[in-house]
Structure 1
Amino acid sequence: MSYQSGFGASSLFFLIGVAWFYRRNRDKTYLDRIRLRKQLIENHGNTIVDANKIIAPAVNEFYTWMMGTDLLLRYPMMFQTIAISPPATAIEALRLPGSHIDTEFLFLLPSSNPADEGKYKLGGYVACFPSGFHMRKKINLTLVNIHTPVSGYAAKLEKLMDRIFAALPVGKIVKRVNWDITTNIDLFVLGGNRIYKGEDTKEEKIDLVKTVLRCEKQTLRRPLKSKALVFAFKTFQYPIRQIKEGRNGELLAGAIEGLSEGSVPRMAYYKRGVVWGETVKNFLGS
């Protein structure tokens, strides 16, 4: 099961190219990323790791499965020193995997508010590499409120996403690849990668050396016992020059063009394509 979000057909073909990139380019950044993650978790507190009380059972269940089964089976030598039993608090049970696994984990539960029937709320997270948003401001919010800044979410995606979340059975994994262009190489970004409603666009000199294709490989799954859902994503960055030299420049240029041609034309504004789009397309086509 997979889903798309308001892009044209050109973006679909580009995502196929992104999947090819994943296969051809093994991740060689683990140690550097983990050092950065530990530093960010230490320095930024609940900006990166937080949890409410009701999400604790879901966090503990997922921690026990991940540390006691999944990682031990896949990487028996790497994680054998980490305790299998969850720590005393849900926050610590998020800090530990967040400090050893290069993936963000968000935990959601069905809302207890009768007015929110069928909707999920964010109850806990470890998110070291946000791309222009502040996760602390989103805790305890429903999906539609979390995505308020996203162009077209309420009109195009809210009902679809609520149905997917509510119907997802144990054992089923939803997968998706998201992509973006950023004019910086920072992984931890609380603002500046988006243009929100009411904000003005500003001219910017685009440094192509620091311009990257930023992708998220996303999964959604449900733990066995709890009613929670775990949304996980890993961030990849590819320099624009590497995309061009790898002969995927035409695909990326078409995807950029598609930002304003899909079912949500304002996506080009939200993703700052109106700022960097022409410069990047001209470079890819030169």
Structure 2
Amino acid sequence: MITPASFLFLLAIPLSAAILIWLTRGASAKLQRKRISQLGAINEKEILEDPYEAIEPLADLDWKTTEPIKIRPFKPKYHLTMALETCSLADLVLVDKTYLSRIHIRRDCHVHHEPEVVQCNPAGVPAVNEFYEWMTTTYLPKRFPTMYQLSNHVVDEKAPTTPQVLRNLVTGEDIPVQPPNDPKAALKTLSSHVDCDFIFLLPTPSTMEPPSYPGPSFHPASYQSSSGTSTPVDSTQDQPRYHLHAFMGTFPSGFNWLEKFSKPLASIHDPVPGYASKLEKSMDRFFATLPPGKIVQRRNWAVTTNRELFLVKGNHGDAIASSSAPVTVAETLEQQGGKDDEVNLKDTVLRAERQTLHRLPKTGALVFGFKTYQYELDDVKAEGSGEDLAQAIEGLWLGSVSKMVVYKKGDVWGKKVCEYLRS
């Protein structure tokens, strides 16, 4: 027989459990807020919101009247650093009035140089598919609604459903939102509609699982496995070596992506003087700890004595094979610089790149983005940046890696270009 007292006791059990759950949730939420505040630079809203979905639209963008950005990262002394800046994932791709002409050039490169501009090995397929689907279903239509629009493509009017496509409003073409079976076809499709190059890096081999989406428990100094356990990154141990597993690289500046395909990052940068001693370890550490949802950018510049966007050789000198003795500005400018037979100022331009880096949330692949810009030297002078560029050219000899002037071929064009910029 249940007495009133025992009845009240039984009634109190679920009530107590409910109170306990409520208190536990409150404590858990408080702990979560504390963890978030400890991260410092990471805002609570940014953690709880999926950055891959929260793409701010450029609703009024008119690509035909949008000027290309001006990249002028000139320093009086050249130091080899990562020089990273934070940016928004929405700024992954920049669009300007050169869009359509560049798209035509890219497609021409696909026809005449396909092996050198598009490749993917089996390890890179999941990353390529993930990136392709995100670009076609989310990023492009959300970011550029005046250029790309999701719609239904009618194959058969009697069919109950029609496949969804991404409409390129500029070219009038439909883009499948699902990646093709051939990953190279997927890369070629993206490259035919987006004026930006992308390469895909994955650690090979690696005992670490790809990092999962950075929820409230994610910390940049750890990988979180799919089982929910965290694997700390020990900065005292070797970091996983990232290899190039896929690329759509239509505008290389004096190197061949095909020769770097499937190689580790260190091998890719072999020709760059100072990379192994000054950048390799810090880049490996940064790559290992970059969380999904965060994107960084950097900018670089060079002077080229040609206007070719696709160029697999000719823009770089062999700095590694050159003499180990440092050279001075005076020695090089007077004795080597300004070889008139190799420098035609009418064909000489300032070439710059805006580079981005972010990690895909599912595969954990690192995606490098490269957008190439070319500027007339006359325009650089007219805007008042001529002296800054001239000092930056001379600064190639004055920084931490004097061989960089050979790598950038400043010993060929340096004297003549500096004289022109100051004329």
Scaled by the length of structure 1, the TM-score of the pair is 0.88
Structure 2 gaps, min length 5:
1-40, 42-73, 84-94, 149-166, 168-173, 208-236, 324-335
Structure 1 gaps, min length 5:
2-6, 16-25
SS in 2 for 1:100: coil
Pairs within 5 Å for 1:70-85: 70-79=139-148, 80=167, 81-85=174-178
Indicate the residue corresponding to 1:276 in structure 2. 413
Aligned equivalents of 2:350, 2:98: Cα separation in 1: 16
Indicate the residue corresponding to 1:21 in structure 2. none
Aligned equivalents of 2:376, 2:75: Cα separation in 1: 23
**Could you tell me whether the CA contact under 8 Å between 1:94 and 1:125 is conserved in 2?**
yes
**Could you tell me whether the CA contact under 8 Å between 2:353 and 2:373 is conserved in 1?**
yes
Do residues 216 (structure 1) and 285 (structure 2) align?
A: no
**Could you tell me whether the CA contact under 8 Å between 1:111 and 1:117 is conserved in 2?**
no
Aligned equivalents of 2:78, 2:388: Cα separation in 1: 8
Pairs within 5 Å for 1:111-130: 111-112=204-205, 117-130=239-252
- Once the 2 structures are TM-superposed, how far is the Cα of residue 10 of structure 1 from its aligned partner? 4.5
Indicate the residue corresponding to 1:52 in structure 2. 121
**Could you tell me whether the CA contact under 8 Å between 1:11 and 1:254 is conserved in 2?**
no
Q: CA RMSD in A?
A: 2.3
SS in 2 for 1:209: helix
Do residues 152 (structure 1) and 274 (structure 2) align?
A: yes
> Pick from 349, 355, 380: which aligns with 1:243?
380
Aligned equivalents of 1:135, 1:144: Cα separation in 2: 14
Aligned equivalents of 1:69, 1:11: Cα separation in 2: 39
Which amino acid in structure 2 is aligned with residue 134 of structure 1?
N
**Could you tell me whether the CA contact under 8 Å between 2:123 and 2:245 is conserved in 1?**
yes
Indicate the residue corresponding to 1:90 in structure 2. 183
Which amino acid in structure 2 is aligned with residue 112 of structure 1?
P
- Once the 2 structures are TM-superposed, how far is the Cα of residue 37 of structure 1 from its aligned partner? 0.4
Alignment: residue pair count: 269
CA deviations on 1:195-236 (whole Å, 9 max, x unpaired) are 014379894342111111100000000011112100001000
> Pick from 212, 226, 239: which aligns with 2:363?
226
Aligned equivalents of 2:251, 2:342: Cα separation in 1: 24
Q: Equivalent pairs: percent with the same residue?
A: 46
* Structure label with greater radius of gyration: 2
Pairs within 5 Å for 1:21-36: 27-36=96-105
Change (3 A) 1:90 1:116: farther
Indicate the residue corresponding to 2:227 in structure 1. none
Indicate the residue corresponding to 2:228 in structure 1. none
Indicate the residue corresponding to 1:18 in structure 2. none
Indicate the residue corresponding to 2:86 in structure 1. none
Scaled by the length of structure 2, the TM-score of the pair is 0.60
Q: Which has the higher helix share?
A: 1
Instruction: List, as ranges, runs of 4+ consecutive aligned residues in structure 1 with deviation greater than 3 Å.
Output: 7-12, 113-117, 197-205
SS in 1 for 2:279: helix
Aligned equivalents of 2:404, 2:271: Cα separation in 1: 11
Change (3 A) 1:88 1:206: same
Q: Which has the higher contact order (CA 8 A, sep 6+)?
A: 1
SS in 2 for 1:122: strand
Aligned equivalents of 1:71, 1:113: Cα separation in 2: 32
CA deviations on 1:226-247 (whole Å, 9 max, x unpaired) are 1210000100000111101111
Once the two structures are overlaid, the 10-residue window that deviates more, 37-46 or 214-223, is: 37-46
Which amino acid in structure 1 is aligned with residue 321 of structure 2?
G
